[in-house]
């Protein structure tokens, strides 16, 4: 039933069927006035329906040069070549970067979850600073969007991490170019702060509205390379009576974020909280928002405590092996763990 | 159903005379025509002045109706079609192939169900690489940016000797990022049109279609304020099965699980979706190990409950 596949409201669809328009062809043969009269809608609405039908039938007429590839697709070979130049955002912790294959991948949605106090917001802030590392130093030179739902974004801490990052970069350039004249890093902590766009949302409707608005925002600010949502769970956990509505809203939001990541080649990092789940007779910690949400990310990293040490574990990834790595939160940001055993534990 | 006057432009036999004649029998649309007693209509037409033209008009309507239903096949034709066209594609994983009776069957819709990180995308990627190595084309609809060409190259590279062959193989897998259900419909329609017009060479013929995952496209529209989402879900299943049967494609979709009433996980998308796929497999992964368990929930020819394990998916 081709009418069923047009993006129009159910009442309009019912009217079309009642008037006898069951195929796209039958709609295209009438004019706007006839359509408006037959289904008793205004002329502008009839015109809208005709436009949808024409767009769908235009697919009939377009026959591309490569008959295999319908518009929008890419062969795996092209994608493989593109991946070689894909950008990775470092986390400033070498062990963590290693298990991630170099860093957080652009074009993917990564979910990071853990118990309170494990360092999720710290990782978020570190990534917002690291995305701005200039291209000369192997970074992306991009800007960041930080969506704060909990109010845990402390500007003083960002300043601290930014200063530490600049110090590290100038030390690196010192070592690398020690023969040449001083290759001063032309960055200032204030410019790092300027390149982080901060949004504070206070309810789930604001969150959804913001995600819808991001499309327009990123089109205007093309150098945004990372979107961090801290945390994506907060407004959906308390007092949500209608669970079905919640699943629907979350599903739609995750599809929009996936689309943003793919279309603008940026990384989306979602920070999530934990909850307990009753599995096989015992209570275990899992990420919040339920089973349906667990499919809404490309990669998932779980942060946990292991004998006073913070560890990160890759829980879900299409191409990375399951592994865990230790990291630590220092005054300079996220860094390698200083424990005695520095080997990466492969699980 | 279409009113009769909408047919008058294309079929000159159904002119205003004919329509007046039909109106005298209270026939205003094709539906009324189908419900009416045709013998009585013929007899009444014979009594009219221009009876020949009226009878031709009735025959014309019957011809139009006849042209719209799919062809009737007998058992012998079905089995010949099955032998000639309905091949089986190995998925690359012996455990799954054994459960499926050889692999993914052309003409059937196979569904993989499982919790997060149980290996569904890995099976899709492995099947794509195996099918591409066997010189057939794969169309991969990816809703979660999980298509990893690196992983495909790994699966392909595992058992092929020449590195230069890889480009031909990888060129046969085409990936489409899809982020809403209408986009998927547009794509499937375009595919149907391309296949019908047969402008594709035989070695680029699409034989496998993978949708990973269909549940993330359909969940946002289900259970809204109306049966619309439900209707879209069923019509998407219908479209996929039609593509599979008419154009000789094997379709593989993935679905996730939700909590059931008794605490056991059950496949998402509800009761109506249960009857849509021909074959349903359940995947699960032992906690943090590399072994995945696969079992049959539904299969037209194998016993349900049969299971297998595989260690190749997470290596």
pLDDT digits (tens, 9 = 90+) for B240-291: 999 998 888 999 999 988 877 776 778 888 888 888 999 999 988 876 677 8
Comparing A307 with A176, the larger pLDDT belongs to A307
A218, A266 Cβ separation under 8 angstroms: yes
- Window A:278-337, CB contacts with B under 8 Å: 278, 290-292, 294-298, 300, 315-316, 318-319, 321-322
Task: Please report, rounded to a whole number, the percentage of residues in chain A having pLDDT higher than 90.
Answer: 28
Cis peptide before B213 (omega within 30 of 0): yes
Looking at the predicted structure, is the pLDDT value of residue A299 above 80?
Answer: yes
A52, A6 Cβ separation under 8 angstroms: yes
Looking at the predicted structure, is the pLDDT value of residue B156 above 80?
Answer: yes
User: How many beta-carbon pairs below 8 A join chains A and B?
Assistant: 182
Looking at the predicted structure, is the pLDDT value of residue B65 above 90?
Answer: no
Q: What is the overall mean pLDDT for chain A?
A: 82
Q: Give residue B228's domain range.
A: 80-310
Homologous superfamily in CATH for domain A81-336: P-loop containing nucleotide triphosphate hydrolases (3.40.50.300)
DSSP letter at A28? H
* CATH code for the domain in which residue B103 is found: 3.40.50.300
pLDDT digits (tens, 9 = 90+) for A222-279: 899 999 998 888 888 877 788 888 888 898 899 999 999 999 999 999 999 888 877 6
Partner residue opposite B148 with nearest CB, options A20, A256, A319: A319
Angstrom CA distances, A279 to A288, B49, B262, B265, stand at: 14, 81, 12, 10
Q: Which residue is listed with tokens 């359940």? A: B282
> Residue B284 domain-assigned?
yes
Instruction: End-to-end CA distance of chain A: give it in Å, rounded.
Output: 50
Task: Spell out the domain ranges in chain A.
Answer: 3-61, 81-336
Centre a 10 Å sphere on the Cβ of residue B171 and count the other Cβ atoms it contains. Answer: 17
What is the CA angle A125-A126-A130, rounded to 5?
A: 120
Task: Please report, rounded to a whole number, the percentage of residues in chain B having pLDDT higher than 70.
Answer: 89
Centre a 10 Å sphere on the Cβ of residue B64 and count the other Cβ atoms it contains. Answer: 16
B147, B175 Cβ separation under 8 angstroms: yes
pLDDT confidence band for A170 (50 / 70 / 90):
confident
Residues B21, B119: one domain?
no
Comparing B13 with B120, the larger pLDDT belongs to B120
Q: Does A17 contact B at CB distance below 8 Å?
A: no
If one counts the domains in chain B, the total is 2
Q: Report helix, strand or coil for B2.
A: coil
pLDDT digits (tens, 9 = 90+) for A5-39: 677 777 777 777 777 776 776 777 777 777 777 77
Partner residue opposite A295 with nearest CB, options B116, B150, B191: B116
Give the pTM. 0.82
Mutate to test the interface with A, among B1, B174, B200, B311 (most CBs of A within 10 A): B174
Residues B59, B100: one domain?
no
Quickly list DSSP for A111-122: EEEESTTSSHHH
pLDDT digits (tens, 9 = 90+) for A33-74: 777 777 777 777 778 877 777 776 665 554 433 445 567 788
Domain ends where: B68, B102, B121?
Answer: B68
Residues B149, B205: one domain?
yes
pLDDT confidence band for B159 (50 / 70 / 90):
low
Residues listed for chain A: 347
Contact call for B143 and A259, based on CB within 8 A:
no
- Window A:33-92, CB contacts with B under 8 Å: 56, 59-60, 63, 67-77, 79-80, 83
Shortest Cα distance, chain A CAs vs residue B85, angstroms:
20
Q: Report helix, strand or coil for A198.
A: strand
| Residue range B130-144: mean pLDDT, rounded | 89
A335: which strand partners?
A328
Q: Does A248 contact B at CB distance below 8 Å?
A: yes
ipTM above 0.85, yes or no: no
Looking at the predicted structure, is the pLDDT value of residue B188 above 80?
Answer: yes
| Residue range B39-48: mean pLDDT, rounded | 80
Beta-carbon contacts of A284 under 8 Å, excluding residues fewer than 6 positions away, are A276, A277
> Residue B73 domain-assigned?
no
Contact call for B259 and A258, based on CB within 8 A:
no
Residue A112 is predicted with a pLDDT of 93
Angstrom CA distances, B176 to A71, A262, B221, B266, stand at: 9, 11, 21, 28
Catalogue the long-range contacts made by A260-264 (C-beta closer than 8 Å, 24 or more residues apart).
A260/A214, A260/A215, A260/A218, A260/A227, A261/A106, A261/A107, A261/A108, A261/A109, A261/A298, A261/B145, A262/A107, A262/B145, A262/B177, A262/B179, A264/A218, A264/A219, A264/A222, A264/A224
Residues listed for chain B: 315
| Chain B neighbors of A262, CB-CB under 8 A | 145, 177, 179
Angstrom CA distances, B126 to B132, B173, B266, B310, stand at: 10, 12, 25, 12
CATH 3.40.1130 at A3-61, yes or no: no
Residue B36 is predicted with a pLDDT of 81
Residues B64, B84: one domain?
no
């Amino acid at each position: 039933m081709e009418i069923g596949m047009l993006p129009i409201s159910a009442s309009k669809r019912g009217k079309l069927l009642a008037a006898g328009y069951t195929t796209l062809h039958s709609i295209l043969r009438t004019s706007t006035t006839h359509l408006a009269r037959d289904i008793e809608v205004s002329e502008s609405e009839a015109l809208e329906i005709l436009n949808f039908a024409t767009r769908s039938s235009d697919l009939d007429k377009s026959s591309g040069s490569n008959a295999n590839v319908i518009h929008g697709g890419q062969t795996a070979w092209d994608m493989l070549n593109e991946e070689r130049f894909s950008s990775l955002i470092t986390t400033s912790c070498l062990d963590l970067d290693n298990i991630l294959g170099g860093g957080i991948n652009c074009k993917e949605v990564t979910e990071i979850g853990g118990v309170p106090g494990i360092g999720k917001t710290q990782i978020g802030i570190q990534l917002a600073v690291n995305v701005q590392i200039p291209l000369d130093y192997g970074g992306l030179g991009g800007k960041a969007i930080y969506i704060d739902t909990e109010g845990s974004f402390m500007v003083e801490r960002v300043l601290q991490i930014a200063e530490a990052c600049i110090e590290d970069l100038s030390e690196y350039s010192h070592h690398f170019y020690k023969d040449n004249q001083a290759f001063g890093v032309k960055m200032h902590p204030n410019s790092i702060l300027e390149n982080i766009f901060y949004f504070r949302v206070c309810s789930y409707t604001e969150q959804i509205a913001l995600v819808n608005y991001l499309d327009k925002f990123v089109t205007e600010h093309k150098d945004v390379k990372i979107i961090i949502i801290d945390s994506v769970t907060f407004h959906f956990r308390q007092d949500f009576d209608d669970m079905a509505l919640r699943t629907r809203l979350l599903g739609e939001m995750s599809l929009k974020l996936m689309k943003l990541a793919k279309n603008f080649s940026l990384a989306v990092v979602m920070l999530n909280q934990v909850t307990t789940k009753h599995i096989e007779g015992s209570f275990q910690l899992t990420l919040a928002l339920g089973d349906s949400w667990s499919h809404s990310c490309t990669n998932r990293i779980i942060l946990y405590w292991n004998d006073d040490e913070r560890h990160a574990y890759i829980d879900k990834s299409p191409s990375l092996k399951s592994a865990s790595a230790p990291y630590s939160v220092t005054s300079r940001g996220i860094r390698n763990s200083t424990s005695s055993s520095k080997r990466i534990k492969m699980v | 159903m279409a009113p009769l006057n909408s047919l008058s432009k294309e079929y000159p036999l159904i002119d205003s005379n004919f329509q007046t004649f039909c109106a005298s029998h209270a026939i205003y649309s094709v539906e009324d025509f189908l419900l009416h007693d045709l013998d009585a209509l013929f007899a009444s037409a014979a009594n009219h002045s221009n009876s020949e033209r009226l009878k031709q008009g009735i025959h014309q309507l019957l011809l139009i109706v006849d042209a719209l239903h799919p062809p009737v096949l007998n058992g012998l034709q079905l089995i010949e079609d099955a032998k000639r066209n309905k091949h089986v594609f190995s998925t690359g994983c012996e455990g799954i192939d054994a459960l499926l009776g050889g692999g993914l069957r052309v003409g059937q819709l196979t569904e993989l169900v499982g919790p997060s990180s149980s290996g569904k995308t890995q099976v899709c990627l492995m099947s794509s690489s195996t099918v591409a190595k066997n010189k057939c084309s794969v169309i991969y609809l990816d809703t979660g940016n999980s298509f990893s060409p690196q992983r495909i190259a790994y699966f392909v590279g595992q058992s092929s000797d020449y590195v230069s062959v890889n480009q031909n193989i990888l060129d046969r897998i085409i990936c489409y990022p899809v982020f809403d259900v209408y986009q998927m419909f547009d794509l499937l329609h375009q595919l149907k049109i391309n296949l019908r017009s047969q402008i594709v060479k035989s070695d680029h013929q699409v034989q496998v279609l993978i949708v990973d995952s269909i549940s993330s496209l359909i969940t946002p529209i289900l259970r809204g304020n109306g049966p619309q989402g439900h209707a879209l879900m069923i019509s998407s299943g219908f479209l996929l099965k039609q593509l599979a049967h008419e154009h000789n494609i094997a379709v593989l979709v993935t679905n996730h699980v939700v909590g059931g009433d008794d605490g056991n996980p059950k496949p998402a998308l509800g009761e109506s979706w249960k009857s849509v796929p021909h074959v349903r497999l359940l995947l699960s992964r032992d906690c943090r190990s590399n072994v995945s368990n696969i079992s049959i929930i539904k299969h037209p020819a194998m016993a349900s409950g049969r299971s297998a394990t595989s260690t190749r998916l997470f290596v």
